[in-house]
Amino acid sequence: MQSKKLRVLPKFSFLISAFTTLLFAIFSGYKGVLLYFINKSMDDTFVGGEVSNISISLWLFISGIMFFLAFLFIYLRKLRDLKSQKTINSAFIILWFITFVIILFFLPKMKYFSLIPFSLMVIYIISYSNVKKQIIFNKRNKHLSKNEIDLLQRLAKRK
């Protein structure tokens, strides 16, 4: 019985990451806008509750960064060079691992939420191994260009 190999293309992993990052961006933007409206409504009451403007700015800043990362993931889908894809995949493996560790240890109440970056990290590891195998396959089956053939023929005539 032949086992099927799991293949994940870098384009698919970038698309999944873009979608996930977009969800994080929407969530962060929602939290920032919600805190802004809570701050405004507390100013109108006699209680005079305080919501830090720093926390509002921080949530909106995180949202902006996540929107930028989502755009970056979509843009990176256009890469054709396998070595660049391999390098970028390895960088995003590290990024999702750090995100996983941060959520797991610094937000212990949300440990189930840490499964999202962990699953993305696994997808990138599979994608990385597929790109690495493709690079090895291309190196083994590389044909000589016309210039290389011409130079080899000239070299052979000299001897």
Ordered by start, the domain boundaries in the chain are 9-78, 79-144
> 47-73 pLDDT, tens per residue?
555 656 888 899 899 999 999 999 998
**Model pLDDT, residue 107:** 81
Residues in the chain predicted with pLDDT less than 50, given as ranges, are 1-3
**Model pLDDT, residue 1:** 44
Q: Would you say the C-alpha torsion 129, 131, 132, 137 has a positive or negative sign?
A: positive
**Model pLDDT, residue 147:** 86
**Model pLDDT, residue 50:** 60
Structure tokens, 5: 């190999």
Rg (CA), the chain: 24
**Model pLDDT, residue 2:** 46
Residues 6+ apart with CB under 8 A from 36: 56
> 5-20 pLDDT, tens per residue?
777 788 888 899 899 9
CA distances from 113 to 100, 101, 135 (A): 9, 11, 34
| pTM higher than the cut 0.85 | no
In 10 A of CB 99, how many CB atoms?
17
Of 40, 35, 32, nearest to 61 (Cα)?
Answer: 32
Whether 70 contacts 21, CB under 8 Å? yes
